[in-house]
Structure 1
Amino acid sequence: MSESGTTGDDHLQPLAWKLRSIVGEDNVLVNEPMSEHTSFEIGGPADLFVIPEDFDEVHDVIDACKQEGVPYFVLGRGSDLLVADEGYRGVIVAVADGLVGVSVDDDEMWCQAGVTLREASEMACELGLSGLEFACGIPGSIGGACFMNAGAYGGCMADVLKNVHVLHQDGHEETIPVDELDLGYRHSRIADEGMVVLSATFDLDRVDPEKIRETMDELTRRREEKQPLELPSAGSTFKRPEGYFVGKLVTDAGLRGYQVGGAAVSKKHAGFVVNVGGATAADVRAVIAHVQDEVERQFGVRLEPEVRFLG
């Protein structure tokens, strides 16, 4: 990580000092390479990278950015994110590094936004709580998963969420029940309204831990068999178009293995664009654009990226 020294951009100096007073000197990093904070392992430096450790600090950091008129982006695990080679001009608010609390009350599990889905599913399994098995191989955080209603293998967040505690754009916090979140395929009211997830509560079921483990092991086996987990990526690159499978469309278009620079369509699963070594964000964008254009030209279907772009 970068040193927490002075930022080279003079107009950010007042904000940098303000942020240090909120989260402490060690939790404000300058010119932090975003390649270290995304599953693609791609991305230039962020002007300021801030690690809040509780809900109040998240609120105060975002408020300070707004007061100074500096752009900010709330980062989870960076598992669906492509950051530009030039980096990000503004403040990255890294909630996954600090908000990692978990508590369990009977069959309810409460997780702060930075807890990974893998950690949450493992803890639930150990406690004999079923419902999060589908999430055992999803690389994101609880916050990001609620934001996009993450899902896999027939399950999704909407199935197990009880409520989500969020920070609204106007600065007030609210706990919102799941039926008011408008959760759909890779969609939520959280994303639509620019809320920040602070924590989530899950409503789970008591089941024999060995049965839960069997399910998780089977899903892990299937994932390892079919997905290019050995290479950096942002997971499924495109959203599934109704009535089609992305991998088949891309394969039928003759694009399996298509490569620009260090980025390529995976030969193992054509629904993934992977970093085969030294890929730049420009390489990835070029591959994505070519796949979109070719699939649309050949089959009349325009693929929509599931990857989010920053910078």
Structure 2
Amino acid sequence: MTDWKVFFDGILTERDLKINEPMSRHTTYGIGGPADVFVTPQTEEQLIEILRKADAEGIAVTVIGGGSNTLVSDKGIRGITICMNRMKQEMTCEGEWITASGGTGTGTVARFAEKNSLKGFEWAVGIPGTVCGAVFMNANGYGSQMKRVVEEVYAITRDGKEKKTYGWDDLHYGDSDSVFMHNGDIIVGVKLHLSPGNPEEIKREMTEHQISRRTKQPLEKRSAGTMYLRPPGYHVGPMIKDCGLIGFSIGDAQVSTKHPDFVVNNGHASCQEILDVLHEVQKRIMEKYHVHVPLDVRIIGEGVQQER
């Protein structure tokens, strides 16, 4: 059994690592069993040291950002869980380009763009989590996606041995998909290309998006955002409604009565209960429409696997 305090000696302080840490404390869902060790590096140098040592000793590494689009197993996560939230936050603006790195929040970047009279990122103002996490998942909203504004992405290989710069053509973006979801490289920064705009119009659009989110989404309850990808030619919400699944629940996991694309945690839902609700929705839609509705949430931890 690994002595984690010895493993991280000289790399992290004790306040930057927690042993058998409940992942329910680190996801917007409030769900997840214990991580063997949960660490919060603050610099790229610390991150690289952790990755190199873990690779050398054959220890599994899981990386999360703000935990906003993540469902963690009830059994938790084995090995090292690295949270990027406390990585040093930096933002710069040069002309039409904004560079953001570390644990910088997506909404923080949207407001920074507004201050610099740059448009094209207003839609992201209410998206929780880090901008690096948004790049990883090709986050979307209000008809736009990260792939429309990303110019370059800066990453570190999973073994910590190489820093890489990805151009747009290297990202292989799809719906809630990117090259990083397949190759394991860890995003540490991004350059966005936006357009000059009227600051008042930018602010007004951001305000409208925030009002829309509060009105239409169940922000008063714990969730991981919308849970389904839209099959071509279909809208998931109406299909869920037609299947009579609005409000359908298993334990404390429930199809939202406010926005059917959300499955909310009404208090003490487990990962398995959330998955059971998601699978029932998929099953009923397949039976009624003969259409597969892929999941749009990152599923991690012991005993579960990513589904699409």
> Shorter-chain TM-score: which interval?
over 0.9
State the Cα RMSD in Å.
1.4
Structure 1 residue 20 displacement after superposition: 3.4
Aligned to 1:151: 140
Q: Deviations over 1:189-221 (max 9, x none)?
A: 122211110100111222222111001011112
2:176 pairs with one of 159, 180, 186: 186
The question of whether the paired residues in 1 share the 8 Å contact of 2:5 and 2:14 is answered with: no
Larger displacement relative to structure 2 (192-201 or 220-229): 220-229
Q: Deviations over 1:61-119 (max 9, x none)?
A: 11222222221101101111111122112111111222422222232211114211111
Aligned to 2:262: 272
Larger displacement relative to structure 2 (272-281 or 125-134): 125-134
Q: Distance in 2 between matches of 1:110 and 1:284?
A: 36
Larger displacement relative to structure 2 (167-176 or 298-307): 167-176
Structure 1 residues 20 and 102, CA gap change in structure 2 (3 angstroms): farther
Amino acid at match of 1:163: E
Alignment: residue pair count: 300
* Pair 1:26-2:26 in alignment: no
Q: Distance in 2 between matches of 1:129 and 1:279?
A: 41
2:166 pairs with one of 162, 176, 194: 176
Q: Deviations over 1:268-303 (max 9, x none)?
A: 111110011111112111111111111111111122
Aligned to 2:107: 118
Q: Distance in 2 between matches of 1:198 and 1:250?
A: 37
Structure 1 residues 16 and 245, CA gap change in structure 2 (3 angstroms): farther
Aligned to 2:31: 42
Q: Distance in 2 between matches of 1:86 and 1:20?
A: 27
Identity across matched positions, percent: 34
The question of whether the paired residues in 1 share the 8 Å contact of 2:93 and 2:116 is answered with: no
Amino acid at match of 2:204: E
The question of whether the paired residues in 2 share the 8 Å contact of 1:20 and 1:28 is answered with: no
Larger displacement relative to structure 2 (265-274 or 26-35): 26-35
Q: Tell me, which stretches of 5 or more residues in structure 1 are unaligned?
A: 1-10
The question of whether the paired residues in 2 share the 8 Å contact of 1:16 and 1:48 is answered with: no
Relative to the length of structure 2, the TM-score reads 0.93
Aligned to 2:290: 300
Q: Deviations over 1:27-82 (max 9, x none)?
A: 11111111111010111111111111111221211122222222110110111111
Q: Report the 3-state secondary structure (helix = DSSP H, G, I; strand = E; otherwise coil) of the residue aligned with 2:9.
A: helix
Q: Tell me, which stretches of 5 or more residues in structure 2 are unaligned?
A: 302-308
Aligned to 2:253: 263
Q: Distance in 2 between matches of 1:158 and 1:49?
A: 30
The question of whether the paired residues in 2 share the 8 Å contact of 1:33 and 1:87 is answered with: yes
